[in-house]
Amino acid sequence: MRRISIFGATGSIGQNTIDLIDRNPGAYDVVALTGGQNIARLAEDAIRLKADLAVTADETRLDDLRAALNGSGVEAAAGTEALREAGARPADWVMSAIVGAAGLPPGIAALDQGATLALANKETLVTAGPLVMQRAKATGSTILPVDSEHSAVFQALEGEGLESVERVILTASGGAFRDWPIETLRSATPAQAATHPNWDMGQRITIDSASMFNKALEVIEAKEFFHLRPDQIEVLIHPESMIHAIVGHVDGGMMAHLGAPDMRHAIGYALHWPERAHLPVERLDLAKLGQLTFRAPDPDRYPALTLAKRVMERGGLAGAAFNAAKERALDAFIAEQIGFTDMAQVVARVLDRLDPDLGPIEAAFDLDNILEMDHLARREAEKVMAQAL
């Protein structure tokens, strides 16, 4: 039986992962599940899947979790250090599906103990790409991309080296506001931004899709995972979300990956890799679909894409600064403290503030400095937001 752990088990990716596990429960020995505020869901899944350990990120909820697990034999734990310890528990396959930079330390712990890391948490590579890739190499652990675009690239590359790759095209739906007049974006509300035309995902990534911060993170993620130059990565708006990515080779041939927009494909691919298994996803009927459409993203509508280029060119701790500023700006937008278009403004200004003072961004690239930069950029975002935008 394969020993598996799921970080962020109560979220959208976590629940899709559990859906696949539930279809074949005898094949898996569940080590640890982690969650946040949804104690009832975490406890119910941990008991049904006979997990050894359930962890809530919130230290104040430990008693609630203990009560919900009472008599089940599942161990309860809480807090950041408990999350990291869950990552260190021996497992063969670990799903990293916490949202935000909080997913980094448990993911690194999983790599260090030699687990295969199925990586949905894009912030891991955005904040710490070179470090994480080097840790995986040092420990012989495998990282399998779960973000649908990166899984698509990985699958399109199957059996081929990266030497023949000229460019990688990541597709984007364009998000909730792709057809809104640009001048109306300022007044878009969190509820409006949290509806996605094609994918059913967590609230934060759905809003990031509307602003294209999600694609900005993915461009950086692709650079780190596939060792690409920034100029080799393109973004293409494809409203139907049927093609997830395209790999262009030096001979002009292009390999596209198609599938229904259902994360259980990318999760299931990582779960069964290097085999392919039957998965419960819709089969595309292309004749019925009739056509697929494409257009170039408008940089005025999606300033996040320009910021991603800046971050890739800057390198070092700029990814950690970018992500943390974005996370803090997103919190403020969700709390209706700033407007939709202010998010990119806040991130740009945080980068401006950290950039001239080269010290912090150019500090040694280790986990302590990455986490320190995360704190620093959140504080800078607070300062920027306290001023008029």
Residue stretches of the annotated binding site for Mn(2+)? 147, 149, 218
Q: Is residue 319 near ligand NAD by the rule CB under 6 A?
A: no
When binding is defined by CB under 5 A, the residue of 45, 64, 123, 147 that contacts Mg ion is 147
When binding is defined by CB under 6 A, the residue of 130, 190, 197, 202 that contacts ligand NAD is 202
Place of tokens 């260190």: 88
The two most distant CA atoms of the chain are separated, in Å, by 62
Q: Is residue 30 near ligand NAD by the rule CB under 6 A?
A: no
Q: Is residue 11 near ligand NAD by the rule CB under 6 A?
A: yes
Closest CB 389 distance from ligand NAD, rounded Å: 25
When binding is defined by CB under 6 A, the residue of 10, 171, 211, 369 that contacts ligand NAD is 10
Residue 365 per-residue DSSP state: -
238, 148 contact by CB (below 8 A): no
384, 350 contact by CB (below 8 A): yes
Closest CB 148 distance from ligand NAD, rounded Å: 6
**CA proximity to 183, closest of 304, 348, 301:** 301
264, 279 contact by CB (below 8 A): yes
Window 135 to 174, contacts with ligand NAD (CB under 6 A): 147-148
Residue 215 phi, psi (nearest 5): -70, -35
Q: Is residue 327 near ligand NAD by the rule CB under 6 A?
A: no
234 bridge partner residues? 169
Give the binding range for ligand NAD (CB under 6 A) out of 117-125, 187-195, 273-281, 336-344.
Answer: 117-125
Q: Is residue 36 near ligand NAD by the rule CB under 6 A?
A: yes
30 bridge partner residues? 4
Question: And the tokens for 316?
Answer: 């070092």
Question: And the tokens for 305?
Answer: 């894409």
Q: Is residue 12 near ligand NAD by the rule CB under 6 A?
A: yes
The binder of 12, among Mg ion, ligand NAD, none, by C-beta within 5 to 8 A per type, is ligand NAD
Distance between alpha carbon 241 and the CA centroid of its chain, in Å? Answer: 17
Q: Which residues contact ligand NAD by CB under 6 A?
A: 8-14, 35-36, 57, 83, 97-100, 102, 120-123, 147-148, 199, 201-202, 204-205, 263
